[in-house]
Amino acid sequence: MFLLGPWMIIPTGVAFTWLSLLVYGDPPEIHRHLERALFLQGSTDWGGGCLFAATIGLYVTFGFTAAWYLVLKLNSGLPPVSFGRTLMKSLWFLKFHIIAFIIGGTANWGYDAYVTPNDFRNMFMLAALIYALTVLLIVTLYSMRLSTPIRLILAPIFTVFWLIVGSDGNTSRAGQLVFCGQDPQPIIRGTRHALMLSWHHLCDSLMGDIKE
């Protein structure tokens, strides 16, 4: 509980930002290994690319830690009364995680104005959907009175699914050398990449281009 709680948001964020950038390595414009860390590639130029990698890494990190924290936190409360009340209690338990997610997730949307893709915004919306589904799943599992080990295993399943689908690239930039202000080429790497690009198309269709 202590290692997963809200008091660890900043230390965990710092540690896993460093880890994400270590995995991402130097920007692809330098090392030219365009297949390295496809999951973390996005946005534009060196700064935007590094910030994007750190942001995505933190989305995944808290997809696990916040889910496990909620499972353990619900165990420390009263037995479930109703699904709705347990859901509201869960959102209250995660209030500091939610605040940190909104502040950190929207901080770099300005980079989306430099190129056509809206990578920061669209991945923020995807993470929000994954987190919402995760909370609903955890509340459902809690209402079913499943054992704690089973709930801990199943809690981050949507984040795991994202890791699998996004492993071939979360954005159109994945696997491409893109300089500052340059749009990536419309190249689909495969089925998983096509699914991720479909999410971007959906977000852009509903919300438009952020620079407009």
Token pair belonging to 54: 């750190």
Gyration radius of the chain over CA positions: 18
Q: Where are the alpha helices (DSSP H) in 81-185?
A: 83-93, 95-106, 119-143, 148-154, 157-165
Q: Supply the pLDDT for residue 20.
A: 83
Q: How far apart are the C-alpha atoms of 54 and 16, rounded to whole Å? A: 8
Q: How far apart are the C-alpha atoms of 86 and 70, rounded to whole Å? A: 11
Q: Supply the pLDDT for residue 27.
A: 66
Q: Supply the pLDDT for residue 181.
A: 81
Domain-located, residue 71: yes
Domain-located, residue 1: no
What is the pTM (predicted TM-score) of this model? 0.92
pLDDT mean for each 10 residues of the chain (212 residues): 88 89 71 82 86 94 96 81 90 95 94 93 98 97 92 97 96 88 90 97 94 78
Domain count, the chain: 1
Q: How far apart are the C-alpha atoms of 141 and 114, rounded to whole Å? A: 43
Domain-located, residue 76: yes
Q: Which residues span the domain enclosing 40?
A: 6-207
Domain-located, residue 212: no
